[in-house]
Structure 1
Amino acid sequence: MNPYKFFIPVIQFLIDIFIIIYLFFRFLKFQYETQGDKWNLLLLFENHHKALLLFIVSWYFISEKTGLYKIKNSNNFELIRKIFIQVIFYALIVFAISGLKSKYLFNNNITFLYNITVLISITLIHILADLYQKQKFSRAVFIDTNNNTNNIIKHFVHGKKIRNFGEFVKFPQKKGQYKYDFNQLNLFIKNHNIQILVFSLNGALSKEVEDTIIKFSDSKYMIYIIPDLSYEFYKNSSLNYFETLPIYLYRRKLNLFNKLFKRIFDITLSLIFIIFILSWLLPIIALIIKLTSKGPIIYKQERMGLHSKPFKIMKFRSMYTDAEYSGPKLASDSDPRITSIGKIMRKYRIDEFPQFINVLKGEMSIVGPRPERKYFIDKISKLDPNYKKLHKVKPGITSIGQVYFGYAENVEEMAQRLKYDLLYLQNENFFFDLKIIYLTLVVMIQGKGK
């Protein structure tokens, strides 16, 4: 393991403080020159060193709440989100301190420019630092690989590199056999210079894995844990006591503000999309569909929505008519039922565009678990009863399952995709929705849909 890794947050913090101090004096100089006042560096420091100290202390305490300097492998979206929140709170303090001084520290216009410059400068520095760190690959080992773990590996491995992890080293074990030896694992880790350990709590070796985590808990390694599905239960539970006996009280956490804000966002984005994109795209798509196959332009199908209430989902028709004359069937790669234009639409997710109308009607949200037909819900619920938890939220045009797993071709794949959708229930918030929308746009641009 890189012995200097834990100094990186300290170095990053000092760099940020240097930027804050440098910009502080630059904008003070600008303020004095604008007002025609004489200045020198010593005078600026004497008049405003207390304010500068408050700014530095405030930046530190805000960062403790935002986790800006925590050692964590995260993507650029998460990094920018943290910086944005950090600077918003910092800006409020700057405005407050500037306004409370008898002689303004900064006037409002300069305060605004100062905060914007801080935001841009620190964002660029952090992104550049993050890119530099990611070039220094770490070695990771996945312990007790299973379907849950393999799905994560499939979506994050690029060649021999794992995003945010580095080179992938698989712990050797015979196919179909789970022969486990802690000493052998420990020796393997030392011989291969492993720095990151990724454990699954949802595999065949759960008891041995839990014991191993305890043994490695005081080690120098970074330890990541892929949780069991039961984690969703405990996350929504609160610990209580019956006399001296601890018990968990389960309740679904409701955030009314988040719910209202999400609905406003859904309506606003849907109106923008329908007015500025669908209005001119619809006639073009309609003409192509009509020229390439017989049948309606818009295809409607009953799906199950919030609280298992049925509704008619809308799509551009991508299959020939009577495609399910023999009964319900999921689409697959090279499906002969899909039209030539349908393949292109499904590849770039264009067939889903009419669902913005479903969103306006309140039947769907832009982000949420994909809605399914009752026929398939009954089948998947037999494999995994957790599926019915998805009906606690509105279904969406896109979802984390669609981004990381894609379209399912059978009930077994639907059960695998369920794990991602359950993850959404645990992390449902506006910023997570924005991240999923961003990743969906990437999938569309790259044409990775089916």
Structure 2
Amino acid sequence: MSKRYSKYLPLSIFLSDLAVLNIAFYSAHYLVFNTVYMQFPSIAFLLLVNITWVIMSLFTKNFEVHRPLVLTNSINKFLVTLSYHLLFFFSIVYFAKIADISRAEVVFCYAIYIILMIFQRSLLFFLLDYFRKNGYNHREIMIIGDEKIGKRLIKSFSKHPEYGYDLLEFITDVQVSNLSEKALINKITSKRPDEIFLCYKHIEVELIGLFIAIGEENHIKIKVVSDLILENNHAKLLDYHNLPVIQLSSNPELSLKIRILKRSFDLLFSSAVMSAGLPVFAMLYVITKVTSKGPAFYKQERIGKNGKPFYIYKFRSMHVNAEQAGPQLSKDRDPRITKWGVIIRKTRLDELPQFWNVMKGEMSVVGPRPERQYFIEQIVERTPNYKKLLSLKPGITSIGQVHYGYAENIDEMCNRTRYDLLYLQNINLNADVSIILKTVKVMIQRKGK
């Protein structure tokens, strides 16, 4: 793929998505009715599916692929588009009172579509990566500025060949200061880069004006890499009437798309677990009840999103009145834990009632584990960044819980916080699914504390 063909890529992806959608539909129709012949309900379904997908796809622009190539970002964008599409589609079906559409056909259609689209996007990114590794669709770049920032950028580019960047030269800010304006211009234009990355902590207005002029005269893209952005993953660029302003938010907020997608996933996943797992819930209830004195369920006040307290639910794993001496963290061979409690804690089955907290909107399936105010005050003294986690709904499982397990002291709670802060910087559906799968692995291997 040469450079001149890359402008046709969005249109190609858009048409490919539409073709895959129709393949999924006809496959589903054949599976359900054992024929390709369609009657009115299926024809109406086909038209609605295509029209609503085109509208939502043009709205979200999920067919656009930007550098850097990140497969998870593309799949997440597709899933967001699919969520909007389904909402729009079912709204039309409901208000138009189209009741004859086969439910099985709908389920099979979208199940096949998701599978085919993940395969299609993976294949697309594999091909783009292949072409770029073979020298096609590359951009030759220069990096100018702070040596430390520049080296971090070079390291990032070296780890991701799919970006398609070839480094021509790295000119440090010290070298720039020793060059005359004419010599700097000649040095840049002789290399004829496609893009220049400016890496400055502080840059003079005259110098950035010079780089802009060089870019405009020689058709070179000028990109500014701010150390603030490299250090703070919650920085975002705001536009105040053509005046760019970097906002460093102390309370990062999730985008509307991520919030809708995450809440939809929470509801669907929790509903599936609570419905399919009803026999397991009943069994756990009975065993907990008969193996030790006291109620089967245990509730405790925890701190949720924005510092709002709520009651978390668990299957009781400790003896009644286990905290008469005050708040305590559990530990290995804790005498307060019942024999049955040891089993359900190691398999994390004691956490299952929290899916009801998720349904109520107090928790998410994946998110930082909620703590008690007593321990939060101690954590914040040592790790002030913990406050950032209160901007999210707490979760049944978390990356910190998977990698660190239950904490036995404040030091371990602070160490676990570091993992959860990493999750805060990279919230997406793929990360959530990955954490859920790792949690299942922990449950099967009985590695919970």
Under a length normalisation based on structure 1, what TM-score does the superposition of the two structures give? 0.52
Shift of residue 271, structure 1, vs aligned partner: 2.5
Residues 1:80 and 1:441: Cα distance change in structure 2 (over 3 Å) = farther
Match of 2:396 in 1: 397
Whole-Å separation in 2 of the counterparts to 1:261 and 1:362: 14
Can you list the C-alpha shifts for 1:371-426, whole angstroms capped at 9, x where unaligned?
Answer: 10000000001011111111112111111221222222211111121122222222
Residue 389 of structure 2: SS of its match in structure 1?
helix
Cα pair 1:66 1:85 within 8 Å, conserved: no
Question: Aligned pair 1:301/2:274, yes or no?
Answer: no
| Matching residue of 1:260 | 260
Q: CA 1:320–1:218 in structure 2 vs 1: closer, same or farther (change >3 Å)?
A: closer
**Partner AA of 1:269 in structure 2:** F
Gaps of 5+ in 1: 1-22, 24-33, 35-61, 88-112, 131-206
C-alpha change, 1:260 and 1:81, in structure 2 (3 Å) is: closer
Contact 1:241 1:247 in 2 (8 A): no
Cα deviations by residue, 1:207-228 (Å, 9 ceiling, x for unpaired): 99769758x75997889xxxx9
- Structure 2 portions without partners, runs of 5+: 1-19, 21-35, 37-60, 83-107, 126-145, 162-226
- Would the alpha carbon gap of residues 230 and 315 (structure 1) be closer, same or farther in structure 2, given more than 3 Å must change? farther
Native 8 Å contact 1:347 1:449 kept in 2: yes
Contact 2:402 2:442 in 1 (8 A): yes
The answer for the alignment partner of 1:289 in structure 2 is 288
Alpha-carbon distance between aligned partners in 2 of 1:247 and 1:318, rounded to the nearest angstrom? 48
Q: Look up the match of 1:107.
A: none
- The structure-2 alpha-carbon separation of the partners of 1:356 and 1:210, relative to structure 1 and needing over 3 Å to count, comes to same
- Runs of 4 or more above 3 Å deviation: 62-67, 69-72, 78-87, 115-128, 207-214, 216-223, 228-234, 239-254
Partner of 1:431: 430
- 2:356 partner amino acid: I
User: What pairs up with 1:21-36 in 2 under 5 angstroms?
Assistant: none
Cα distance in 1 between the residues matched to 2:228 and 2:418 = 8
Identity over the aligned pairs, expressed in percent? 45
* Paired position in structure 2 for 1:17: none
Asked if the contact 2:368–2:393 (Cα under 8 Å) also holds between the matched residues in 1, the reply is yes
The 1:423–1:287 alpha-carbon spacing in structure 2 relative to 1, beyond 3 Å, is: same
Does the residue aligned with 2:277 lie in a helix, a strand or coil? Answer: helix
Distance in 2, matches of 1:245 and 1:263, equals 32
Question: What's the CA shift string for 1:169-190, capped at 9, x where partnerless?
Answer: xxxxxxxxxxxxxxxxxxxxxx
Cα distance change of structure 1 residues 209 and 407 upon mapping to structure 2, 3 Å threshold: farther
Tell me if the contact between 1:236 and 1:253 (Cα under 8 Å) persists in the aligned partners.
no
> Is contact 1:238-1:249 (8 Å) kept?
no
Amino acid at match of 2:262: K
Residue 305 of structure 1 deviates from its aligned partner by 0.8
Indicate the residue corresponding to 1:272 in structure 2. 272
**Residue 385 of structure 2 aligns with which residue?**
386
SS in 2 for 1:314: strand
Instruction: Evaluate the alpha carbon distance shift between residue 315 and residue 125 of structure 1 in structure 2; reply closer, same or farther with a 3 A threshold.
Output: same
Correspondence 1:219-368 to 2 at 5 A: 233-238=232-237, 248-250=247-249, 252-278=252-278, 280-368=279-367
The answer as to 2:434 corresponding to 1:420 is: no
- Indicate conservation of the 8 Å contact 1:368/1:398, yes or no: yes
Q: Which amino acid aligns with 1:265?
A: F
Is 1:371 equivalent to 2:375 in the alignment?
no
- Shift of the 240–440 alpha-carbon distance from structure 1 to 2, 3 Å rule, reads same
Q: Does structure 2 retain, via aligned residues, the 8 Å contact 1:292–1:341? A: yes
Change in CA separation of 1:419 and 1:358 when aligned onto 2, cut-off 3 Å: same
Q: Is the 8 A contact 1:229 1:419 kept in 2?
A: no
391 and 83 in structure 1: CA distance in 2 versus 1, 3 angstrom threshold: closer
Q: Relative to 1, partners in 2 of residues 1:252 and 1:318: Cα closer, same or farther, differing over 3 Å?
A: same
Cα deviation for residue 127 of structure 1 reads 9.1
Deviations 1:36-79 (A, max 9, x none): xxxxxxxxxxxxxxxxxxxxxxxxxx999557x9798x99xx99
Secondary structure (helix, strand or coil) at the match of 1:294 reads: coil
Query: Which residue of structure 1 aligns with residue 448 of structure 2?
Result: 449
Q: How many residues align?
A: 318
Aligned equivalent of 2:164? none
Amino acid at match of 2:363: M
CA change 1:408–1:429 in 2 (3 A) is: same
Letter in 2 for 1:252: P
Using the TM superposition, give the Cα deviation of residue 244 of structure 1 relative to its aligned residue in structure 2, in angstroms.
10
Q: How has the CA–CA distance of structure 1 residues 443 and 229 changed in structure 2, closer, same or farther, with 3 Å as cutoff?
A: farther
The Cα offsets for residues 425-447 of structure 1, whole Å up to 9 and x where unpaired, read as: 22223333223222222222222
Query: How far off its partner does 1:235 sit?
Result: 2.8
Q: Which residue of 2 aligns with 1:411?
A: 410
Stretch of structure 1 that moved more, 437-446 or 337-346: 437-446
Following superposition, the deviation at residue 329 of structure 1 comes to: 1.2
Residue 284 of structure 2: SS of its match in structure 1? helix
Please state how far the C-alpha of 1:365 moved relative to its aligned partner. Answer: 1.5
Indicate if the aligned counterparts of 2:236 and 2:246 stay in contact, CA closer than 8 A: no
State the alpha-carbon separation in 1 of the partners of residues 349 and 156 from structure 2: 50
1:360 positional shift? 1.7
- Specify whether residues 287 and 122 from structure 1 end up closer, same or farther in structure 2 by C-alpha distance, changes over 3 A only: closer
The letter of the residue matching 2:273 is F
Is residue 235–residue 246 contact of structure 2 (8 Å, CA) maintained in 1?
A: no
Q: 1:333 to 1:210 in 2, by over 3 A?
A: farther
Residue identity opposite 2:354 in structure 1: Q
1:233 Cα deviation from its structure 2 partner: 3.7
Cα gap change, 1:239 to 1:232, in 2 (>3 Å): farther
1:45 is aligned to: none
Q: CA deviation at 1:123?
A: 7.3
CA contact (8 A) 2:327 2:374 kept: yes
How many angstroms apart in 2 are the aligned matches of 1:303 and 1:380? 14
SS in 1 for 2:365: strand
The structure-2 alpha-carbon separation of the partners of 1:353 and 1:65, relative to structure 1 and needing over 3 Å to count, comes to same
**Equivalent-residue separation in structure 2 for 1:382 and 1:82 (angstroms):** 38
Alignment of 1:71-110 (within 5 A): none
The superposition leaves residues 253-285 of structure 1 with CA deviations (integer Å, 9 ceiling, x where unpaired) of 44224323433332332232222213x223322
Shift of the 120–261 alpha-carbon distance from structure 1 to 2, 3 Å rule, reads closer
